[in-house]
Structure 1
Amino acid sequence: MDATDLTKEYSNGEVTIVWKNSLCKHAAECVKNNPEVFHPKEKPWIIPENSTTDKIITTVNKCPSGALTYYLNKK
């Protein structure tokens, strides 16, 4: 496994956040816009259960590098 090219997924049951570390530019827009979910000094650093799906989607869409994406989970 290449530690510089990881893809991790985090879900709150409704939406899954996909993070690609190789694309992350550390602009911290996720932390600024949704500090309830994004905790860069903790593991896991993304805790989607701490926010609403709408707020998560809005936050992910502000990621300037494209390191964060999402998909809606099927019901």
Structure 2
Amino acid sequence: MEALEYPNGEITIIWKPKVCIHSGVCVRTLPGVYDPKARPWIRVENATTQELVDQIARCPSGALSIKQI
């Protein structure tokens, strides 16, 4: 598994599990979007595109990134 993609119609969140250091910044910043116990664990519909962009900019490992649609 190299990367998983989560689109919202405007952007696609790309998550690279092997890069993730599980710092928890994403979960603490947007708990309605990121739920490690749920499947899928990223629910892009629970935040605005700008909220997602702002949060992903804070990812310390770079495991989360954005692709424009």
Is the structural similarity TM-score above 0.5?
A: yes
Q: Which category of TM-score, normalised to the shorter sequence, fits these structures?
A: over 0.9
- Following TM superposition, the consecutive aligned residue runs of length 4 or more in structure 1 with deviations greater than 4 angstroms are none
**Structure 1: runs of 5+ lacking an equivalent:** none
Matched, 1:47 2:43: yes
How far 1:28 moved relative to its partner?
0.6
TM-score (norm 2): 0.94
Pairwise CA RMSD: 0.9
Instruction: Give the match for residue 19 of structure 2.
Output: 23
Kindly name which structure, 1 or 2, has the bigger radius of gyration based on alpha carbons: 1
Moved more, 5-14 or 45-54: 5-14
Q: How many residues align?
A: 69
Partner secondary structure for residue 36 of structure 2: coil
Q: Percent identity?
A: 43
TM-score (norm 1): 0.87
**Structure 2: runs of 5+ lacking an equivalent:** none
How far 1:72 moved relative to its partner?
1.8
